Amino acid sequence: MAKITQRPDVKAFFDPATNTISYVVKDPDSNACAVIDSVMDIDYAAGRITYENADEIIKYIEDNGLKLEWQIETHVHADHLSAAPYIQEKLGGKIGVGENITVVQDVFGKVFNEGTEFQRDGSQFDRLFKEGDTYEIGNLKAYAIHTPGHTPACMTHVIGDAAFVGDTLFMPDGGSARADFPGGDAGILFDSIQRVLALPDETRLFMCHDYGPNGRDIQWETTVADEKEHNIHVGAGKTKEEFVKFRTERDAQLAMPKLIIPSLQVNMRAGEIPTDKDGRPMLKVPVNGL
């Protein structure tokens, strides 16, 4: 288990197009760092990929003389595209995701009719994290907790006194993420949230998304204690039954994320854009497949 006495330096980067927050997490005692949940820009209507968000992260790392050791994906995102390969080409850093990426690859490999050339073994990634796996960012101790429910491959990464929860939780006034994607489950999500809330009260929690409920400014950092007391979906002693009922009814009213089709194809490949038989970058649109 990571030492709660370690306090990493955390720099956030907010992408307003997808309401995603990416992070550079630095070891305070060395120049080592990790990037968590990077974003690649896409103009889906025009079929155009650009890298403004990733370039901002790269510039920050270079300007501060940092050494990128890890690129962590908390899960296979359905609302933005990962820029991990682009950043890796510039700065290095091993790309890691939860081992249940293989479940996601199997499900969506069929949805997108990927054929046998698409490997469904997670080999596109440099590291597949299992429950309790540990790793280091310089002298920082980190470990992974399997927190499924939103997707089967969701992991929370605890790095010193900071935990990066992906879509397992939102800010207290945002509640929680949907659980109706293939492999999602509201009851399992509730149990995963309880695992996060079992961390020490002072643990800093960093969100992957924020939508500014009720018009407030965008936020991304809270604590375990604050979530336990104030989270509108699971806080103040709400039961699993209450959560499952609410989450199921709520999810039935939600539209699909605007970027789910390109995001899944790219992110299940560790951020690589698929190509056609002639090697040209190409995305598919399955009809009535999702």
User: Two tokens at 117?
Assistant: 């050339």
By CB atoms closer than 10 A (0-12, 13-18, 19+), residue 101 is buried
User: How much is the pTM?
Assistant: 0.95
> What does DSSP assign to residue 290?
-
User: Two tokens at 289?
Assistant: 């497949």
User: How far apart (Å, rounded) are the C-alpha atoms in residues 180 and 10?
Assistant: 31
Asked if residue 245 has pLDDT above 80, the reply is yes
* pLDDT of 5: 80
Residues 6+ apart with CB under 8 A from 237: none
Alpha-helical (H) ranges within 50-182 are: 52-63, 84-91, 101-111
User: How far apart (Å, rounded) are the C-alpha atoms in residues 54 and 156?
Assistant: 22
For 216-239, the DSSP string reads PPP--EEEHHHHHHH-TTT-TT--
* pLDDT of 116: 80
The per-residue pLDDT for range 129-187, each reduced to its tens digit, is 999 999 999 999 999 999 999 999 999 999 999 999 999 999 999 999 999 988 899 99
The per-residue pLDDT for range 73-125, each reduced to its tens digit, is 999 999 999 999 999 999 999 999 999 999 999 999 998 888 888 899 999 99
Residue 213's identity, in one-letter code, is: P
> What does DSSP assign to residue 259?
T
Cα 263 to chain centroid distance, Å, stands at: 12
User: How far apart (Å, rounded) are the C-alpha atoms in residues 26 and 194?
Assistant: 27
Residues in the chain: 290
The per-residue pLDDT for range 187-231, each reduced to its tens digit, is 999 999 999 999 999 999 999 999 999 999 999 999 999 999 999
